[in-house]
Amino acid sequence: MDPSTTTTISQTPVPVQFFSLQTIVVRLLGLIAIICLVKFYLLIRQRRNAIEQFKRKCTIPLVGEPGLFGGNFLEMIAKPNNCQLIHDYHLKLGDTYGLFYGPDPWVMTVDLELIQRVFITEGSTHINVTQFRLPFVREINESLAQVSGDKWRTIRRIMGPSFAPKSMKSDNVYRDIDSVCDMFINMLETQQAIEDLMLLTQQRQEQQKPLDTSSHSMTMMKEDPVPVSNQQGVELDVCHEFKRYSLEVIFRVAFGLERSKELEPQARDEIIDWLDEAARMVNGPLVHIGVMLGIGARLLGFFSQFTPLGACISHIHSIIETNLQRRRRRLMKQQADDCIKGNKDSNSSRKLIDSLIERFDLGEMDDETFKANLFFILLAGHETSANTLAMMFWLLANHPGIQDKLRHLIASEGDQAEYLNWVIWETLRLYPAVPAAIGRVLEHDIEHHHGGVVFPKGSTIIASIWSLHRWQKYWGADVSSFRPERFGEPNSGGGQWSSLRFFAFGDGPRYCIGKHLAMAEIKAIASRLLVKYRVSLCANSPPPTPTHEGGGEGIKTISPNLIHFIIEHPIKLAFTKITNL
């Protein structure tokens, strides 16, 4: 072709095609939806296979067909009457049966031979515990109660010695408990004096006589109340008042912090109100979602910070942080003074927290774990002891003969009276602070001797403490009765494992670390009160619990996720001062 005849063609640029923001968002959402559907399908498939595999391998009866998401969680564990449901299924299905906590197979048992093997004999092998998937990452999931493996061994090795009776003595734990007992007695006497003064005022007004309200008069009223009031007694909500007592003990013992010099009569406590609300949220929607869908605890923890529980946690963390700095400075100063003066035995101001700080400063525990366990001591320690005290005094008010026997033995033997131990244990038998032992996750398949039942690796063996403590085979026909003497009688119902029938503090390597502290706290205030006051029911007291099996209850309780025990309403009791034993 002749170049001269070539026609020039215009080269117009092609515009670049950009995706609009709307298109990008739509495509991104579509991709996310596809990923979610795939994960949802895989989750369903995984859970269906896990359920079928457990059924094939383990032939124990199940409570019902587990759902793919919640398992039997919503129909059993999340119910307000979960303890009674679990007990009813034991009566129906036998001493061992299965259910699913979300995707996790749980084996509920009152079989002492199985409990002995998993919790004690092979306790160091099956050391890991079931995860409750609570949205409190640092506060619970990093605590001694939930960590696993070597991390648990490290924390237990660090914290265990501080809760031994010998260390509790050197760290002035018993002295701190006695100080709070004095505060409680003074509070009770002050309230008695106020009520006496009000009654006397009313009497004088009726007689139209002036009344001396000077401080001297108040003191005299406190020391020598009028006879009419002595007959009526001071009415206390023991649920609330023992929580105040227990919280003050924990702050002094575990944190080295005196919250107050005295307990005001019938005063509210903001921290107790927060902790009560937080305790109930353990059975809230965030936990339900975590159990059923397996959503990470950190994600749920992000949402929990916007709840009242989050406010409570933040407040307590600020207290812990401030007090840690103060105790560390005091400890360093004390060590420097001891070095200068050559005083190796200066421990008059030591607290339990000082022993923990010393180990923490040696690098044996990271900061997050250290604070989490301090928080857990507060969370678990104050409520368990307080509830046990409240139930114990309510039971003693319902059984005045037992109360009188205990009072006279305390008067002669002090708080070391063996019968006092029996009364506490019998209270914990009927109302265990933890209604189901934190389950042990099996590290390998185990074959149970009776019938050759195989429990597969990954299953969680849980001692049904609530049912175990009500099992007639181990406790006799009067299992529902409050009878402390049973702990002094020989028992053959449990065979060679008879001691395991009482499991309130657990057993084996992961038994309750606060056992000695709790017993010291309960025994101290109980012995002080019972030699000074007679405890009785009043017009506002809950009715006594019927002793027959299946009867109604005078005390309404709930156990969120079977983790702890909550008394649902006040327990009003009358405390009448004793003039002579």
How many residues in the chain?
581
Q: What angle do CA 329, 335, 340 make, to 5 degrees?
A: 125
Q: What DSSP line would sit under 112-165, residue for residue? A: HHHHIIIIIITTTTS--B-----S-IIIIITSTTT--HHHHHHHHHHHGGGGSH
Distance CA 183, CA 121 (A): 44
Return the structure tokens found at 331: 């400890």
| Three-state secondary structure call for residue 448 | coil
The string over 330-349, giving b where at least 16 C-beta atoms fall within 10 Å of a residue's C-beta and e elsewhere, is bbeebeeeeeeeeeeeeeee
Phi-psi map region of 549: left, alpha, beta (phi>0 left; psi -120 to 50 alpha): beta
Q: What angle do CA 168, 170, 174 make, to 5 degrees?
A: 50
Determine how many CB atoms are found less than 10 A away from the CB of residue 488.
Answer: 10
Phi, psi of 558 (to 5 degrees): -135, 160
The string over 30-60, giving b where at least 16 C-beta atoms fall within 10 Å of a residue's C-beta and e elsewhere, is eeeeeeeeeeeeeeeeebeebbeebeeebeb
From the annotation, which residues make up the binding site?
512
From the annotation, which residues make up the binding site for heme?
512
Amino acid identity of 159? M
Q: Are 565 and 432 contacting, i.e. CB atoms less than 8 angstroms apart?
A: yes
Q: Are 443 and 149 contacting, i.e. CB atoms less than 8 angstroms apart?
A: no
List Cα–Cα distances, 544 to 7, 397, 477, 482, in angstroms. Answer: 110, 9, 19, 11
Q: Are 402 and 423 contacting, i.e. CB atoms less than 8 angstroms apart?
A: yes
Which residues, 6+ apart, have CB-to-CB distance to 103 below 8 Å?
Answer: 46, 47, 50, 71, 294
**Residue 75: burial class (beta carbons within 10 Å; 0-12, 13-18, 19+):** middle
User: Which of 146, 102, 82, 73 lies closest to 467, judged by CA?
Assistant: 82
Distance CA 382, CA 374 (A): 12
Distance CA 156, CA 539 (A): 47
Which residues, 6+ apart, have CB-to-CB distance to 497 below 8 Å?
Answer: 112, 113, 115, 116
Place of tokens 């008010």: 397
Q: Are 552 and 422 contacting, i.e. CB atoms less than 8 angstroms apart?
A: no
Distance CA 550, CA 538 (A): 26
Pairing outcome for strands 460-463 and 104-109: parallel
Distance CA 266, CA 204 (A): 26
